[in-house]
């Protein structure tokens, strides 16, 4: 008897985010939670960790019924949730951050805190230095710090909602090691992910959710086909990029030097043809974003030229790039794409290209309802952007894209999307490619890069280390290049 | 229906609380509360003869509030609206002093120039904000002082009354350039018409047009709006310009319709008060008109207090300030409550306002 959920219900208006979820997880179990976008995984995790209160249902831990009204209640009961991008106070040291959420009295006990931190670090192999400034930590190390803090607060249940988006493969291995060791110590771990191979590698058991309900539980070893079928019914995941004839050059960079804060891309020459898909690989912050922003006209190059077709756009304004058919979709959906506080209908109207002085709201709402159906967005025309699940925010962004895009620039096009949605997104993108759109996308997912790109440019500390042919390279070679090594040893 | 109740809850609870606090205050200063409130009512809207006085305060307050709706929609605090009213009055005064011709032409010209002066004064903080990132609150406050200084300089300097230089104002404008009134009424139908038209126009502009929609996007997320291809700087500047124009018109009304001359305090604090009006209206254009009327009534009615009851008329200011405080507190409380309710999901958190 360990963690037990009984008939959890949680509705948001008409949406049944959790519709009678019952689940049991034993001590020492690494339990995966799977499901399509909007299935209700995050909602369930938030209920268990006290961030939202369920309408009805019970949470039991070790046979005792918990009253969870706040994250504080949850952590006191021994349930801690790791956030995707853990909140840390950057100018403080690791130890200070650790102590900030410390239990007990008003007086800080630095010595005890440091001791606890070091013990946890030794036991679980955390790689950070307690005296270092938090801002020097990678996202992966911040997660470790947060785990250490939750442990110190007495967590016996650890919840991770899509923890592997935005961390490197090496950091992911490290995280898995830590989670395995925690499970050996009797910890209950709930692990939400869209990546089947992660669930297969890590978890002992998994629960599949669909539309707020539990479809079923599966024990390891898992079969991917079975999981996919449980999630979506029968789906055939497409084989990736069909060969398409390349057209004339759409994007041409000649010795472009551009810098943004700490990253400088130097003397980059590159061209992308109509109908071509260029993948950008590399660790986060190696220059991919800087490059994309230069191509979008958001950063002005210090030297070199950028041409779109026959037009020299060097030093021109973002507006000119837009008019030339460039479309940029950055990674931060709610920060640089959607507008929190505005509805889906308003978003569609904003990007409709209509120019009439008065907005025909009846027409706009009808169109929005159609678009929502057409793009399978889970939401209504009145839903505000921030109420959509991550995957549905991405669908909305894609749905807002104009038809006549010549060059599409994207960061992490399928981050946070379930397999079916990711596949759907790529079906849409490849259809655009058929009609001659050139696509440049950055991704941290090697599979995605290999599957959909024609060529892959590997960035390392601001430079393109090499451009490889996606058809002939291997994941290993790509991994080494990303790490800055020119050849496989 | 339910929605209306939810919307009205904050203002109603706030007003009740503010009245209760005022009551307490009156008891403390040993004044009869009921009598005081009666005097305020009687001195403003309760008596036919006092209604024009109330409208005199209502018009500039409403015009400035309508303008502020636009800058708030663009996500900005145009605190400098007070100075923009002063500049509008200066522009209008310039026209009626320097120009002569048929009254209709001169008055229209005064409105146009007043609006232009207001626009100019509003574009300064707008430019500083969009070009250099200077926060509009700081530049706005500074420019209020500069505008007042210019008015005082004109009044005691170039435009001083023949013979005497005093801060009591310039010479009266020629009477034919005063705003037209009906019969013996002291107040101009034209000014009221302008204010009503402004509120309606702004309400339509903000809710029914593409401009309003885009401005909302700019105000809520400047960065996303820019990426969508909206020229955010131009939109922010246009919001400042529109607010400045309405403030300038308010100044023109003050000069041509009420004081009939330029005085140092020509803006009458209506700009600052208008900020409170808009906060109280929850940034909804149509609500500014009745709320401004309430403010105007308090303002005008409370002058009766000193006359009849010997209480300082600053009481009106105290009540207005308390109202806004209560609105903010009750609003925050309501937001917290909604959040709590949403967590229990007795109500949907989706959509809501708009
Ligand atoms: N605060 C909210 N207000 C209204 N609806 C919400 C809110 N939070 C979630 N929802 C809705 O509840 C449903 C479940 O959302 P949830 O975030 O739990 O999905 P998810 O399984 O985590 O999806 P994803 O894989 O995309 O992260 C979605 O339809 C979502 O739009
Ligand atoms: Mg989620």
Relative to the alpha carbon of A392, which ligand is closest?
A: 1
Interface check for B336 against chain A (CB to CB < 8 A): the answer is no
SS (H, E, C) chain A: CCEEEEEEEEEECCEEEEEEEEEEECCCCEEEEEECCCCCHHHHHHHHCCCCCCCEEEEEECCEEECCCCHHHHHHCCEEEECCCCCCCCCCEHHHHHHHCCCCCCCCCHHHHHHHHHHHHHHHCCCCCCCCEHHHCCHHHHHHHHHHHHHHCCCCEEEEECCCCCCCHHHHHHHHHHHHHHHHCCCEEEEECCCHHHHHHHCCEEEEEECCEEEEEEECCCCHHHHHHHHHCCCCCCCCCCCCCCCCEEEEEEEEEEEECCEEEEEEEEEEECCCEEEEECCCCCCHHHHHHHHHCCCCCCEEEEEECCEECCCCCHHHHHHCCEEEECCCCCCCCCCCCCEHHHHHHHCCCCCCCECCHHHHHHHHHHHHHHCCCCCCCCCEHHHCCHHHHHHHHHHCCCCCCCEEEEECCCCCCCHHHHHHHHHHHHHHHHCCCEEEEECCCHHHHHHHCCEEEEEECCEEEEEEECCCCCHHHHHHHHCCCCCCC
User: Does the structure show a pLDDT above 90 at A376?
Assistant: no
Task: Look at phi and psi of residue A178 and say left if phi exceeds 0, alpha if psi is from -120 to 50, else beta.
Answer: alpha
Closest residue to atom 10 of ligand 1, CA basis: A387
Question: Closest residue of B to A17, CA-based?
Answer: B345
pLDDT grade, residue B347 (50/70/90)?
very low
pLDDT at A105: 53
Asked if residues B254 and B268 have their Cβ atoms less than 8 Å apart, the reply is: yes
pLDDT at A4: 93
Closest residue to atom 8 of ligand 1, CA basis: A387
Domain residue ranges of chain B, discontinuous segments joined by +: 58-285
Q: Higher confidence at residue A101 or residue A154?
A: A154
pLDDT at B184: 62
Note whether B224 contacts A322, CB cutoff 8 Å.
Answer: no
Q: What is the length of chain B? A: 354
User: Domains in chain A and their CATH numbers?
Assistant: 3-232 (3.40.50.300), 247-325+403-489 (3.40.50.300), 339-401 (no CATH)
Average pLDDT over residues B53-79: 94
pLDDT at B354: 28
User: Does the structure show a pLDDT above 80 at B126?
Assistant: yes
pLDDT grade, residue A273 (50/70/90)?
very high
Q: What is the pLDDT of residues A200-254, one digit of tens each?
A: 899 999 999 988 999 889 998 888 788 888 877 655 555 666 666 788 899 999 9
pTM for the predicted model, two decimal places? 0.78
Percent of chain B whose predicted confidence (pLDDT) is above 70: 90
Q: Could you tell me which of B231, B232, B253, B235 has the C-alpha nearest to residue B243?
A: B235
* CA-angle at A175, arms to A284 and A463, nearest 5°: 20
Q: How far is the CA of A228 from the centre of ligand 1 (A)?
A: 20
A323 contacts: CB under 8 Å, gap ≥ 6: none
CA A102 and chain centroid, separation: 29
pLDDT grade, residue B341 (50/70/90)?
low
User: Does the structure show a pLDDT above 50 at B346?
Assistant: no
Note whether B210 contacts A319, CB cutoff 8 Å.
Answer: no
Closest residue to atom 12 of ligand 1, CA basis: A17
Q: Tokens representing A11?
A: 């509705």
* Alpha-carbon gap, residue B108 to B260, rounded angstroms: 16
pLDDT grade, residue B303 (50/70/90)?
confident
Q: How far is the CA of A391 from the centre of ligand 1 (A)?
A: 9
User: Does the structure show a pLDDT above 60 at A309?
Assistant: yes
Question: Closest residue of A to B350, CA-based?
Answer: A383
Write out chain B residues lying below 8 Å of A340, CB-based: 220-221
pLDDT at B1: 46
Q: How many Cβ atoms from other residues are within 10 Å of residue A240's Cβ? A: 15
User: Does the structure show a pLDDT above 80 at A346?
Assistant: yes
pLDDT at A192: 92
User: Does the structure show a pLDDT above 50 at B136?
Assistant: yes
User: Does the structure show a pLDDT above 80 at B111?
Assistant: yes
Q: Residue B257 has what DSSP assignment?
A: I
Note whether A383 contacts B220, CB cutoff 8 Å.
Answer: no
Contacting A residues, span 398-417, partner chain B, CB-CB under 8 Å: none
pLDDT at B345: 40
Q: How far is the CA of A193 from the centre of ligand 2 (A)?
A: 9
CB < 8 Å & 24+ apart, contacts of A19-25: A19/A211, A19/A212, A19/A213, A20/A57, A20/A212, A20/A213, A21/A57, A21/A209, A21/A212, A21/A213, A21/A214, A22/A214, A23/A207, A23/A214, A23/A217, A25/A188, A25/A190, A25/A205
Asked if residues A131 and A95 have their Cβ atoms less than 8 Å apart, the reply is: yes
Write out chain B residues lying below 8 Å of A350, CB-based: 213-214, 217, 228, 230
Asked if residues A238 and A427 have their Cβ atoms less than 8 Å apart, the reply is: yes
pLDDT at A242: 65
Q: Residue B43 has what DSSP assignment?
A: T
ipTM attached to this prediction:
0.83
Average pLDDT, chain B: 86
Relative to the alpha carbon of A11, which ligand is closest?
A: 1
Pocket test for ligand 1, best of A40, A215, A383, A396 (most atoms within 8 A of CB): A40
Q: What is the pLDDT of residues A136-181, one digit of tens each?
A: 777 778 888 888 888 888 889 999 988 887 677 788 888 999 999 9
* Alpha-carbon gap, residue B114 to A440, rounded angstroms: 53
Shortest CA gap B209–chain A (Å): 4
Note whether B344 contacts A53, CB cutoff 8 Å.
Answer: yes
pLDDT at B3: 61
* Alpha-carbon gap, residue B301 to B97, rounded angstroms: 33
Relative to the alpha carbon of A52, which ligand is closest?
A: 1
Asked if residues A309 and A390 have their Cβ atoms less than 8 Å apart, the reply is: no
User: Does the structure show a pLDDT above 50 at B348?
Assistant: no
pLDDT at A342: 94
Complete edge-to-edge strand list for the sheet that includes strand A15-25: A15-25, A3-12, A56-61, A64-66
Shortest CA gap B339–chain A (Å): 10
Interface check for A354 against chain B (CB to CB < 8 A): the answer is yes
pLDDT at A108: 62
Note whether B223 contacts A387, CB cutoff 8 Å.
Answer: no
pLDDT at B213: 96
Q: Could you tell me which of B217, B241, B242 has the C-alpha nearest to residue B229?
A: B217
User: Does the structure show a pLDDT above 50 at B115?
Assistant: yes
pLDDT at B180: 82
pLDDT grade, residue A307 (50/70/90)?
very high
Pocket test for ligand 1, best of A11, A17, A164 (most atoms within 8 A of CB): A17
Three-state SS at B345: coil
Least confident among A114-123, A186-195, B79-88, B305-314: B305-314
CA B198 and chain centroid, separation: 12
Kindly give the pairing relationship between strand A303-308 and strand A249-260.
antiparallel
* CA-angle at A23, arms to A19 and A29, nearest 5°: 145
pLDDT grade, residue A102 (50/70/90)?
low
Q: What is the pLDDT of residues B215-234, one digit of tens each?
A: 999 999 999 999 999 999 99
Q: What is the pLDDT of residues A40-98, one digit of tens each?
A: 999 999 999 998 999 999 999 998 999 888 888 898 899 999 876 666 666 677 777 77
User: Does the structure show a pLDDT above 50 at B349?
Assistant: no
* Alpha-carbon gap, residue B39 to B43, rounded angstroms: 6
Write out chain B residues lying below 8 Å of A19, CB-based: none
Asked if residues A364 and A348 have their Cβ atoms less than 8 Å apart, the reply is: yes
Note whether A350 contacts B208, CB cutoff 8 Å.
Answer: no
Dihedral Cα A163, A169, A175, A178, nearest 10 deg: 160
pLDDT at B61: 96
Beta bridge partners, A468, equal A456
Q: What is the pLDDT of residues A475-484, one digit of tens each?
A: 888 878 887 7
* Alpha-carbon gap, residue A152 to A124, rounded angstroms: 13
Q: Which helix (H) or strand (E) holds B116?
A: helix B103-132
Percent of chain A whose predicted confidence (pLDDT) is above 90: 44
pLDDT grade, residue A354 (50/70/90)?
confident
Note whether B220 contacts A341, CB cutoff 8 Å.
Answer: yes
């Amino acid at each position: 008897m360990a963690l037990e959920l009984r008939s959890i219900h949680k509705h948001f208006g008409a949406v049944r985010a959790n519709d009678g979820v019952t689940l049991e997880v034993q001590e020492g179990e690494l339990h995966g939670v799977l499901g399509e976008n909007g299935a209700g995984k995050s909602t369930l995790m938030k209920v268990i960790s006290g961030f939202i209160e369920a309408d009805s249902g019970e949470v039991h831990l070790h046979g005792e019924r918990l009253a969870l009204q706040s994250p504080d209640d949850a952590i006191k009961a021994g349930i801690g949730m790791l956030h995707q991008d853990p909140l840390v106070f950057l100018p403080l040291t690791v130890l200070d951050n650790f102590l900030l959420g410390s239990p007990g009295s008003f007086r800080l006990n630095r010595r005890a805190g440091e001791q606890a931190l070091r013990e946890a670090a030794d036991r679980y192999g955390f790689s950070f230095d307690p005296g270092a400034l938090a801002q020097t930590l990678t996202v992966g190390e911040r997660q470790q710090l947060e785990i250490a803090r939750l442990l110190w607060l007495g967590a016996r249940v650890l919840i991770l909602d899509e923890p592997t988006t935005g961390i490197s493969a090496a950091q992911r291995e490290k995280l898995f090691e830590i989670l395995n060791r925690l499970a050996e110590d009797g910890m209950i771990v709930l692990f939400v992910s869209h990546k089947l191979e992660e669930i297969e590698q890590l978890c002992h058991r998994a629960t599949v959710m669909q539309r707020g309900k539990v479809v079923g539980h599966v024990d390891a070893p898992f079969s991917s086909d079975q999981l996919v079928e449980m999630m979506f019914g029968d789906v055939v995941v497409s084989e990736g990029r069909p060969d398409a004839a390349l057209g004339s050059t759409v994007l041409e960079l000649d010795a472009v030097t551009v810098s943004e804060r700490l990253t400088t891309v130097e003397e980059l020459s590159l061209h992308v043809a109509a109908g071509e898909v260029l993948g950008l690989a590399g660790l986060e912050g190696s220059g991919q974003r800087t490059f994309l922003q230069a191509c979008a006209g958001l950063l002005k190059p210090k030297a070199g030229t950028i041409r779109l077709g026959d037009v020299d756009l060097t030093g021109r304004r973002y507006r000119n790039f837009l008019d030339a058919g460039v479309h940029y979709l950055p990674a931060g959906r709610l920060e640089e794409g959607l507008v929190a506080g505005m509805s889906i209908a308003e978003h569609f109207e904003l990007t409709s290209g209509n120019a009439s002085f008065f907005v025909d709201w009846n027409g706009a709402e009808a169109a929005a309802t159609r678009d929502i159906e057409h793009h399978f967005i889970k939401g209504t025309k009145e839903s505000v952007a921030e109420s959509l699940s991550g995957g549905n925010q991405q669908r909305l962004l894609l749905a807002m894209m104009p038809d006549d895009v010549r060059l599409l620039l994207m960061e992490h096009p399928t981050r946070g999307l379930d397999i079916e949605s990711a596949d759907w997104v790529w079906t849409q993108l490849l259809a655009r490619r058929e009609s001659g759109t050139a696509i440049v996308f950055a991704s941290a997912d090697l599979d995605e890069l290999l599957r959909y790109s024609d060529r892959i440019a590997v960035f390392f500390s601001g430079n393109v280390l090499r451009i490889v042919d996606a058809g002939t390279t291997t994941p290993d070679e790509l991994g080494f290049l990303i790490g800055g090594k020119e050849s496989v040893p | 229906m339910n929605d209306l109740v939810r919307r009205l809850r904050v203002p109603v609870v706030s007003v009740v609380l503010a009245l209760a606090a005022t009551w307490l205050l009156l008891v403390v200063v040993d004044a009869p509360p009921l009598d005081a409130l009666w005097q305020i009512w009687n001195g403003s809207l309760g008596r036919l003869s006092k209604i024009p006085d109330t409208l005199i305060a209502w018009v500039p307050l409403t015009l400035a509030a309508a303008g502020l709706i636009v800058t708030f929609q663009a996500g900005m605090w145009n605190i400098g609206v007070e100075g923009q009213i002063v500049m509008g009055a200066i522009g209008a005064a310039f026209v009626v002093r320097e120009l002569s011709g048929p009254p209709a032409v001169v008055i229209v010209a005064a409105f146009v120039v007043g609006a232009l002066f207001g626009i100019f004064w509003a574009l300064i903080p707008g430019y500083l904000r969009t070009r250099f990132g200077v926060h509009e609150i700081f530049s706005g406050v500074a420019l209020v002082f500069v505008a007042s200084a210019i008015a005082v300089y004109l009044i005691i300097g170039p435009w001083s009354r023949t013979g005497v230089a005093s801060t009591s104002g310039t010479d009266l404008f020629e009477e034919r350039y005063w705003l037209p009134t009906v019969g013996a009424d002291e107040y101009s139908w034209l000014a009221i018409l302008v204010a009503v038209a402004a509120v309606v126009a702004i309400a339509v502009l903000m809710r029914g047009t593409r401009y309003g929609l885009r401005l909302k996007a700019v105000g809520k997320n400047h960065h996303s709006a820019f990426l969508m291809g909206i020229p955010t700087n131009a939109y922010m500047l246009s919001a400042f310009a529109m607010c400045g124009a309405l403030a300038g018109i308010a100044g023109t009304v003050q000069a041509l319709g009420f004081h009939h001359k330029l005085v140092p305090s020509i803006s009458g604090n209506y700009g600052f008060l208008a900020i409170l009006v808009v906060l109280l209206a929850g940034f909804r254009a149509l609500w500014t008109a009745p709320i401004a009327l309430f403010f105007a009534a308090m303002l005008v009615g409370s002058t009766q207090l000193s006359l009849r009851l010997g209480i300082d008329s600053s009481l009106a200011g105290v009540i207005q300030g308390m109202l806004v405080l209560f609105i903010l507190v009750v609003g925050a409380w309501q937001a917290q409550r909604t959040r709590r309710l949403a967590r229990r999901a007795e109500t949907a958190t989706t959509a809501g306002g708009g």
